[in-house]
Amino acid sequence: MTIAELLGMLIGLVVIAVLADRVRIAYPILLTVAGLAVAFFPFSHPVHLEPDLILLVFLPPLIYDASLETSFDELRRHWRPILLLAVGLVLATMTAVAVVFHWLVPQSSWGEAFALGAIVSPPDSVAATQIAGKLGLPRRLVTILGGEGLMNDATALTAYQLALASVATALTLETVAVRFVFAVVAGVAIGVLVGWLGGRLLRITDSPVIENTVLLVLPFAAYLPADKLDASGVLAVVACGLFFSRHGSRSLSAAARLQQREIWDLVVFLLTGLSFLLVGLELRPVLESLTARSPSSLAIEASAVVATVIVLRLLWMYANAALPGGKRLFAVNQGAESTWRETTVVGWAGMRGAISLAAALALPTTFAERDLVLFITFAVIVATLVGQGLTLPPLIRRLGLVGSDEHDLVRRIEVRRRLAALAMVRMDELAREEPTPPDVLDHVRANYAVMLDELDHQMAQLGARFPRAVVGGETGEAAGAEVARAHVDAEVALRRRLIELERKELQRLVGRRKVSKQVADEVLTELDRDETTLRP
């Protein structure tokens, strides 16, 4: 691929994204249609990329981003429904697809059949959470879908690597079991180690550019050694992301955290878009190589796999909901009971996307049924991402599961107010630790008092009222119109210590499960923004 071709794809990607935003459709859906159009565009020509390069460039960043967005505490809190979907359903789908494919294509080996099953078994969380989040689907269901999207990638792609190994070499059941255990244990260990080293490395720099460069390198630093040792590179990336999200992110400066989300949104957008356009360029030679097969047989094979993927997910959902305690799995509120509405929505949210595409494109060229697998994979993505993706919003509305962001907004204001009140209470104590001029202390106290007034006003607008905390101290004004440089430095130092106090309290609330990850991330962003606006 030339530089001009790559730039042309990026321009096309931007145009498609603007159109998707204009018509209010999740951009992966429109990218799927664009990829299909590229395959039949008369002036397009095939682009051949090394399969190993696809696996290395696309998978680690996409999986790492999903792990950064996932809270380990929320995974632990909702472990039953997440494991049922991310492990149980993925393995069941992989097995069912393998059986169907091997029955329809008897000349294929079981390794090839299981490779296809592993490719199409993990739903993509990007489109599902985009649609669900924009419509205000209850937070617990969005969390389950997000956790599933992360963990099912680890399950499916670890199985995918084992399936490819079984194609190249005959493996016994015992050998497969040993390799699987080694892949899991070694992959997790390498990921945690890289995450720990990344956190330590970030402590010795305070440059936001360098800090975010380290973050961009981490998924590859976890994936490469694990892959070389025949461990699970995917699990290494997942473990690295989860560990860093829980422990290493504290090493980032406020400015770096503010940049981090925008950078990763851009990286994921570019990789997702390029994967869909690349498969379009690969699809034409794939279709040309399949001319020996009749269109009817291709349609039957693709339709059978699509039906297996969609129907099995719905059956799995209803079957688990019917088991003892099953109605509590997918309820809107933990501990409550769900209805068929929640079960249906989660069952219909099994859209396949960029991870499946990247895995299919990464199949080695020596893979006997590579073209057929690539064709079926794209058929599954089109059917689920376009078909289910376009019908999921009206389904959510029809079933009355559209909510609002007001609960999270109220909770965010509550948390921010609690942190500000704590800062007011501890302000005098911190000021005594490092001598602070009285007028500076009064000025900072006045700023926090204004903040509390604004938060109270916001809560009043939302119909909720809270008693004003007794914070002690008198509100005053900074003395004089001109503040000496020493006073400015003292004020900045005091405010930074107060913001750090607020961060520690926020971490404590998260650790005690008093605040969700989404609310905590929003509050942390506000604190980081406050710190970066302080004068040096």
Please tell me whether residues 54 and 71 are part of one structural domain. Answer: yes
Domain that holds residue 523: 406-532
Cβ-in-10-Å burial (0-12, 13-18, 19+) of 52 comes to: exposed
pLDDT for res 221: 93
Please tell me whether residues 237 and 327 are part of one structural domain. Answer: yes
Q: What is the pTM of this model?
A: 0.73
pLDDT for res 403: 60
What radius of gyration, in Å, describes the C-alpha atoms of the chain?
Answer: 26
CA distance 183 to 162: 9
pLDDT for res 56: 82
Final residue of a domain: which of 369, 398, 427?
Answer: 398
First and final CA of the chain: distance in angstroms?
Answer: 47
Question: Would residue 484 be called left, alpha or beta, if left means φ above 0 and alpha means ψ between -120 and 50 degrees?
Answer: beta
Please tell me whether residues 389 and 462 are part of one structural domain. Answer: no
CA distance 395 to 399: 6
pLDDT for res 466: 44
* Number of domains the chain contains: 2
Q: Which residues of the chain have pLDDT under 50?
A: 465-484
Final residue of a domain: which of 342, 372, 398?
Answer: 398
Find the DSSP H helices in 386-516. Answer: 389-398, 406-433, 438-461, 485-511
CA distance 305 to 258: 43
Which DSSP string corresponds to 19-85?
HHHHTT--HHHHHHHHHHHHHH-TT-------HHHHHHHHHHHHHHHHHHTS-HHHHHHTHHHHHII
Q: CATH number of the domain at 479, please.
A: 1.20.1260
Please tell me whether residues 283 and 352 are part of one structural domain. Answer: yes
Please tell me whether residues 100 and 237 are part of one structural domain. Answer: yes
Please tell me whether residues 119 and 191 are part of one structural domain. Answer: yes
Please tell me whether residues 303 and 194 are part of one structural domain. Answer: yes
pLDDT for res 488: 63
The DSSP code for 387 is: I
Please tell me whether residues 421 and 383 are part of one structural domain. Answer: no
Please tell me whether residues 193 and 83 are part of one structural domain. Answer: yes
Cβ-in-10-Å burial (0-12, 13-18, 19+) of 149 comes to: buried
Cβ-in-10-Å burial (0-12, 13-18, 19+) of 447 comes to: middle
Please tell me whether residues 384 and 436 are part of one structural domain. Answer: no
Is the separation of the CB atoms in 335 and 344 below 8 Å? no
Find the DSSP H helices in 138-294. Answer: 139-168, 173-202, 208-228, 233-246, 254-289
Please tell me whether residues 273 and 319 are part of one structural domain. Answer: yes
Q: CATH number of the domain at 270, please.
A: 1.20.1530.20
Output 250-254 pairs: Cβ under 8 A, ≥24 positions apart: 250/199, 250/507, 251/199, 251/200, 251/202, 251/203, 252/202, 252/211, 253/206, 253/208, 253/211, 254/527, 254/528, 254/529, 254/531, 254/532
- Name residue, tokens 């592993």: 118
CA distance 113 to 293: 18
Q: Residue 237 is which amino acid?
A: V
Final residue of a domain: which of 343, 372, 398?
Answer: 398
Please tell me whether residues 374 and 414 are part of one structural domain. Answer: no
